[in-house]
Amino acid sequence: MKLYPRLALTILSLILLQALFTGFNMSRTIRNSNLEDARVELELETDFIINNFNSWKRHLWKQLIMIRNYAENRDPAELTEEELNTLLTSTGIDAVIVNGRNFGFTIESINNSPEFVLPDSHELHNTFNHPSIRLFQIKGQFYMVGTILPEGLNTPVDVYLIKHINDYFLRNLVLDTHGQILFHTATDYLGGDREVQKIAFRHISPETAYTQMYGLTDQNRSFNLAQIKMGDVLNISGASDVYLSILLSNEPYNKRIQSIERTVLTVSLLTLVITALLSLLFTRGITRPVATLASAMGHIRQGRYDIQLNSSGSSEIGVLLRGFNGMAARLHHDQIKIEKSLDEITFLNEFNEEVIHSIRDALAVVNDDYEIEKSNSAFDRLAGARYESLIDFSAHAFDETLIHAVSSILSGEQEEWNGRLRNRDEGLFEVKIYPVHREFHIHSDRKMCVLLMEDISARTAYEEKINQAEKLSSISMLSAGIAHEVNNPLTSIVTNIQNLIYDEKDPEKLESLRLVEDESRRIAQIIRDLNDFTSREQDSGGICSPLRTAEEVKRLIQHARRPDGSRIPPIRIHTAARDKVQDVRISRGELMQLLINLLQNAVHATEDNSPIEIILQEKEEDGLITVRDRGCGIPEEIQNRIFDPFYTTKANGEGTGLGLSVVYGIMQKYKGSVEVKSASGSGTSVTLRIPFHRGEEL
């Protein structure tokens, strides 16, 4: 919001608040004053009505005394109606009744109003020997009755002076024309304004002789109420308490308050208008320079610091504009320096990022809350997530040993840590962990360490293959020598056996000689297979038939024996389509090595003569070769280490711990996979998944 509207709004708000405060105080003061005036008015009105009502009682009392004095000189039985009319015409009494047992009834009605109902004499009764004034309710009419029983008369009579309490009588009781009165009992209407009846019955207090209530409302009307207990009234049900309710409206006071509030509002509005005009005149000299300054600030926000304003004049505005010019010049100078520094920082940051992400080894910085502060692309690929989502190091560490090593570095137990760990999905890693010294992260109180992980799977596999090749080369030379030495006498044996068969005529001996010939030929085949195995090709791009290779491996080792001399369990090959097994993309020699390693483990795990199965299957684009035994199984606690090099559960001299490690390395080489399912006492199933070679089916 601009200066002028804000200043004007502030001033106008203050004036409005002052007007509201003044109006509130004036209204409260006037209301308090009106309340006091209403209290005084209600008390005066109440006193006036009660005095008027009591004056009528005194008037009736005087008339009763006059009748008593008159009866002392003359028997009331001798009075005529004309004399009674002359006696009471000027008193304002509505009726007189003279009642005597021997005299009969003499009634004179003075009030000729059609609303007046003269009560029967038997509805009136007198229980006093002295003059009295009582209130009666007879046939829905309300009367004030004065009663006297004159003494010393030959004929006892009761004289009743009756005043009808009707609307005319009640109007003469009220001093204020806007006042309303009502005579009533706790439950019945006696006389007066019926509009007051509902209000009076709602607020009646029978236990209180005199009550005043102020600020009552009914149907959007405000009024004050006074209730006075006036004695009792006699009716056919007996005697009941009589109440006089006086109601005064607050309308005059409300109009007075509304008039004052309108006056205050009018004055406040005029003040607001005058103040707005004056504010407009006085703020123009401020808003124009301020608007110019705001426009210049807009240029500053857009990065244009070379702006200068006209700062002539010695006023405060001129000083402000000159200060702005100096600030803009300094910002322009600082902007040039900051941009140069930012370029250097950006270059260094990008260079560092490129260097870090160019490192092929996985790198990560971990703090003492096991949160990853920084990592490179190699670590992100290893963790299987992007750097933005790599927070919890414990969730992405693939080995508990790695977590313990990081903990030892962060706690200061070790200065550095080196070791080799295997990740089943990624291979074998050489891990190095170093602490980050405080001089390199003085901005933080946290302890940190640097984690370097080098994938040595290929190098290790290459070294193992060299060792294996050397072993195979030695075995090949040994096998060739053995085969040469065995083949020479074996050839002589076969030749001599054939000559004996040719000359032998005895069928039993002939059958024995033929059996010897067959076994000799089998020995020759075994030697040829051994030569084929030790001289097999090592080309990684080769292909082979899984079925033929499995049958060759079976033929090669089915006659092998355990160290104790017992025969190994039988080997069975299962396939769903024996003539349509597709070639797989692996060399024949390496597939034979895989099967021999797996069969050796199966033979070692099988103590009885339970058969070992080789199952050939096809799934999508891969061939599945499963070697299954029913031996002792692999305990769950060591299943995550079976692919570690040199890890073995066999006794010393019975195994090198390289069998499954070699299997894993060869499968990684051909982008295949190895799946092991095992449970203690339930046997083991190892499945090789090797991609098909898309050529002709064998």
Percent of the chain surpassing pLDDT 90: 3
Most confident of 137-151, 217-231, 420-434, 678-692: 678-692
Residue 289 has pLDDT above 90, yes or no: no
CATH H-level superfamily of 541-698 = Histidine kinase-like ATPase, C-terminal domain (3.30.565.10)
Q: How confident is the model at residue 687 (pLDDT cuts 50, 70, 90)?
A: very high
CATH number of 456-535: 1.10.287
pLDDT in tens, 455-467: 887 777 777 666 6
How many other C-beta atoms lie within 10 A of the C-beta of residue 264?
17
Burial of 97 (0-12, 13-18, 19+ CB in 10 A): buried
Residue 188 has pLDDT above 70, yes or no: yes
Q: How confident is the model at residue 614 (pLDDT cuts 50, 70, 90)?
A: very high
Any bridge partners for residue 247, and if so which? 180, 225
Burial of 336 (0-12, 13-18, 19+ CB in 10 A): exposed
Mean pLDDT of the 536-565 span:
75
CA 39 vs. chain centroid, Å, equals: 58
Residue 374 has pLDDT above 80, yes or no: yes
Question: What pLDDT is attached to residue 538?
Answer: 46
Residue 176 has pLDDT above 70, yes or no: no
How many other C-beta atoms lie within 10 A of the C-beta of residue 33?
13
Question: What pLDDT is attached to residue 644?
Answer: 67
Average pLDDT, the chain: 78
Out of 226-240, 359-373, 490-504, 537-551, pick the least confident.
Answer: 537-551
pLDDT in tens, 21-68: 777 777 777 777 777 887 888 888 888 888 888 888 888 888 888 777
Question: What pLDDT is attached to residue 656?
Answer: 54
Question: What pLDDT is attached to residue 531?
Answer: 64
What is the sign, positive or negative, of the torsion defined by CA atoms of 496, 502, 508, 513?
positive
Question: What pLDDT is attached to residue 613?
Answer: 92
Q: How confident is the model at residue 626 (pLDDT cuts 50, 70, 90)?
A: very high
Per the model's pLDDT, the better-predicted residue between 428 and 531 turns out to be 428
Q: In 3-state terms, what secondary structure has residue 569?
A: coil
Count of positions (residues) in the chain: 698
Mean pLDDT of the 210-232 span:
82
Residue 128 has pLDDT above 90, yes or no: no
How many other C-beta atoms lie within 10 A of the C-beta of residue 288?
13
Burial of 642 (0-12, 13-18, 19+ CB in 10 A): buried
Mean pLDDT of the 112-123 span:
71
- pTM for the whole structure: 0.39
Residue 688 has pLDDT above 70, yes or no: yes
Q: Which residues contact 66 (CB under 8 A, 6 or more apart)?
A: none
Q: In 3-state terms, what secondary structure has residue 622?
A: strand
Distance, in Å, from the CA atom of 266 to the CA atom of 273, rounded to the nearest integer, reads 11
Q: How confident is the model at residue 298 (pLDDT cuts 50, 70, 90)?
A: confident
Question: What pLDDT is attached to residue 539?
Answer: 46
Mean pLDDT of the 489-516 span:
83
Residue 502 has pLDDT above 70, yes or no: yes
Mean pLDDT of the 557-568 span:
77
Question: What pLDDT is attached to residue 44?
Answer: 84
Q: How confident is the model at residue 537 (pLDDT cuts 50, 70, 90)?
A: very low
DSSP string, 99-116: EETTTEEEEEE----TT-
CATH H-level superfamily of 359-455 = PAS domain (3.30.450.20)
Residue 442 has pLDDT above 60, yes or no: no
Mean pLDDT of the 626-630 span:
91
